[in-house]
Structure 1
Amino acid sequence: MEKTYSVVFYSKTLVEPIKKMKDFLRSKIDWYNSCNSEAHITICEFTIEESQFDSIKQKLSKISDGFTPFEVSLNHFSSFPTSGAFFIGVTKDSEKKLVPIMKKIHETLKFLKLKKSDNPHMSIGRRLTPENLKIASELFTTIDLQFECNEIVLREFDPVVKQFFVMDSFPFGSNPEPEFVQGSLF
C-alpha cells in the first residue's frame, strides 16, 4: 500500500508558540489550510510503497549522521502571494546552513518523485485568500524565534485526519564523510 511521507526540520520547542499563532489567526479568519499542522520546515514530500519504508529510513539515518547541529533563527514574516502562503522566514545565516542539508537530502532521495522545498520557511497558513493574507500580515509583524537544529524528522500522512504525524527522527551525528579526492598515479 502506498503512503505519503514528508521529511522536515522539526523542534518540539516551537510547536506551542506556533500553535498559539495559528489559533489566533484561526480566531480571526476561521479554518484555513495548515491551521492544525505542527510547526516544521519542509524539506520534501513523497509517496512510496510500505516495502520501501525501511530503506528510506536507512538512507535518512546515514545522511543525518554526517550533519552537525546548529542554531536556526526565524526573524521575519513573509508570504508567497501566488500560493496564498503566509510564513515565518529564517535569517540569511540560517538559510546558508539549512539549504545545503535540504539539497543533500533531495539528492539522496532523487530516485523518488519528490515535492521539494528549496526555500526554508515555517508556514503559518497556506492557500489563504488575498484578504486573509492581508489580515495575517497585519496581525503578525515581528518575530524572533530560535531552535537547535539537531535532527531531521520523517512524518507520515494520515489520510483520515489529513495531517502528518512524526514517525521517526534522525539525529545529527557530526560525522561528516571525508570528501573523495581524485588522485593521480603519476
Structure 2
Amino acid sequence: MIKKYSVAIYPSQEVIDSVKTMKEYLKSKMGWYNSCNSTAHITICEFSMTEAEVAKIKTKLFKVCDGLTPFQIDLDHFDSYANGAFFIAPTPDSKEKLKPVMRKTQEALRLSNLKKSNDPHISIGRKLTPENLKIASQLFTTIDIDFLCDAIVLRELDPIKKQFFVIDTFSFNGNSQPELVQGSLF
C-alpha cells in the first residue's frame, strides 16, 4: 500500500508549544483553518511510496544526518506567501544554514515524486483567505524564537486524522565523511 511521507525539522518542544498556542489563538479568532492542528516543523520534502521501500529512505537519511553538525536556528519575523500561507521565518543567517541541509536531504533521496520545499519556514496557517491573512498579520507582529537544529524526522501521514506523525528521528552526529582521494601505489 502506498503511503505519504514527509521529512522535516522539528524545533524544540518549547517552540512547538509556543507555535501551538499561536495556532489555537488564531483558531479562536477565525475558526478552523488548514494546518491549525499540525505540529510546528520546517518541511524539507514530501513523497509517496510503499512501506517496504521506506527502509532504503531511512538508510539514506541516516547517512545524510550522520555527517551534519547541530547548529542554532533563529526565527525573527512573520511573513506570508501569495497562496495564503502565514508563517514564522528564519533570519537570513539561519536560512543560509538550513538550505544546504534541505538540499542535501532532497538530493540523497533521489525520488521522482519528491515534492521539495526550498524556503525554510514554520507555518502558522495555510490556504488562508486574504481576510484571514490580514487577521493573522494583525494578531502576530513580532517574534524572536530559536532552537538547536540537531536532527530531522521522517513522518507518515495518518489518512484519517490527515496529520503527519513521526516514525523515525535522525540525529546530526557531526561525523565527517571521508573524501575519496585518488592515490598512487608507486
> TM-score with structure 1 length normalisation?
0.95
Amino acid in structure 2 at the alignment position of 1:154: L
* SS in structure 2 at match of 1:160: coil
- Deviation, structure 1 residue 14: 1.6
Q: Deviations over 1:36-55 (max 9, x none)?
A: 00000000000011110111
- Deviation, structure 1 residue 112: 3.8
- Uncovered stretches (5+) of structure 1, i.e. residues with no partner: none
Partners of 1:143 and 1:38 in 2: CA distance: 18
Amino acid in structure 1 at the alignment position of 2:149: C
Partners of 1:101 and 1:39 in 2: CA distance: 18
Partners of 1:112 and 1:56 in 2: CA distance: 13
Amino acid in structure 2 at the alignment position of 1:57: K
Aligned residue number for residue 53 of structure 1 = 54
1:27 aligns with 2:13: no
> TM-score with structure 2 length normalisation?
0.95
* SS in structure 1 at match of 2:111: coil
Partners of 2:109 and 2:25 in 1: CA distance: 37
Partners of 1:111 and 1:16 in 2: CA distance: 33
1:7 aligns with 2:11: no
- Deviation, structure 1 residue 176: 2.2
* SS in structure 2 at match of 1:127: coil
Q: Deviations over 1:102-151 (max 9, x none)?
A: 00011011234111000000000000000000000000000000011000
Report sequence identity in percent: 59
Amino acid in structure 1 at the alignment position of 2:81: F
Question: In structure 2, do the counterparts of structure 1 residues 131 and 164 end up closer, same or farther at CA, with 3 Å as the change threshold?
Answer: same
- Deviation, structure 1 residue 184: 8.9
Amino acid in structure 2 at the alignment position of 1:53: V
* SS in structure 1 at match of 2:118: coil
